């Protein structure tokens, strides 16, 4: 079952989020301190991921062009409207809290080597060990995030399921179409680009900035285009 790893990952995120909701009634001062602790941890995670780049110029260009596209498409505004609609239907939550939880959790759970490599292993070799490990990490992270960011964290299972599930289902075709060298470069630069987005989320969480991180998301698509063009040009020059 190629989707077993992704299914376990989704279940762990849901369980972690629901368990975290039982801890939401902790004192406000403690909640603020926990939020700062999470923010600092997210900052360190983003920095660590940023160092995965082997060509930081790709990261810079991807973030700049991604920001232009994101602002043009107004992704942050659209996402906040969805969050506000969900909040109105659920009848609870601070304004924008569901959107913040969704965006934060989605970036942390989908951007990185484990999501891509784990899904490829599931699809090509029916080996789910990487995604099992990721599931445990994501479950614990969702528990911590949901204590401060709320129920919005649980909606991150949708992009996780779509992203990892699609890769797992089409892993064989991806392996045939995409050279291993190109895939390795893409994973490195995607991880680094996403790491800076996660770094920005951490800064937002500790209250230092108000970066519209969702408007940076097209940068991931730009990374794919840039590394593909570089690979084609390199092949033609050889």
pLDDT on residue 91: 62
pTM listed for this prediction: 0.86
* Stronger pLDDT, 78 or 68, i.e. the higher one: 68
29-75 tens-digit pLDDT: 887 888 898 889 989 999 999 999 999 999 999 999 999 999 999 98
Rounded CA-CA distance 193/123 in Å is 25
188-221 tens-digit pLDDT: 999 999 999 999 989 998 999 989 998 999 999 9
**To the nearest whole percent, how much of the chain has pLDDT over 90?**
60
Per-residue pLDDT, averaged over 99-117, amounts to 87
pLDDT on residue 150: 85
pLDDT on residue 50: 93
Per-residue pLDDT, averaged over 68-85, amounts to 86
pLDDT on residue 93: 52
Q: Evaluate whether 5 touches 116 at the Cβ level (below 8 Å).
A: no
Sketch the domain layout of the chain as residue ranges. 4-22+30-237
pLDDT on residue 99: 77
Per-residue pLDDT, averaged over 22-34, amounts to 79
pLDDT on residue 95: 47
Q: Evaluate whether 157 touches 27 at the Cβ level (below 8 Å).
A: no
Q: What's the chain's average pLDDT?
A: 89
> Which range among 51-65, 75-89, 157-171, 181-195 shows the weakest confidence by mean pLDDT?
75-89
């Amino acid at each position: 079952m190629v989707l077993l790893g992704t299914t376990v990952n989704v279940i762990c995120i849901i369980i972690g989020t629901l368990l975290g909701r039982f801890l939401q009634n902790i004192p406000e001062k403690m909640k603020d301190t926990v939020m700062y602790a999470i923010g600092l941890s997210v900052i360190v995670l983003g920095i660590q991921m940023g160092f995965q780049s082997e060509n930081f110029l790709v990261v810079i260009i991807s973030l700049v062009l991604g920001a232009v596209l994101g602002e043009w498409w107004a992704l942050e505004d659209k996402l906040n409207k969805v969050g506000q609609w969900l909040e109105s239907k659920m009848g609870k939550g601070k304004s924008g809290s569901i959107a913040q939880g969704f965006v934060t959790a989605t970036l942390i759970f989908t951007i990185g080597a484990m999501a891509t490599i784990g899904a490829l292993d599931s699809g090509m070799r029916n080996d789910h060990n990487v995604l099992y490990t990721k599931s445990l990490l994501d479950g614990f992270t969702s528990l911590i995030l949901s204590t401060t960011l709320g129920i919005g964290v649980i909606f991150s299972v949708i992009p996780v399921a779509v992203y990892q599930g699609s890769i797992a289902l089409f892993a064989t075709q991806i392996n045939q179409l995409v050279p291993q060298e190109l895939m390795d470069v893409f994973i490195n630069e995607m991880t680094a680009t996403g790491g800076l987005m996660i770094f920005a989320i951490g800064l937002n969480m500790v209250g230092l900035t108000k970066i519209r991180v969702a408007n940076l998301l097209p940068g991931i698509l730009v990374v794919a285009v840039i590394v593909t063009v570089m690979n084609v040009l390199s092949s033609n020059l050889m």
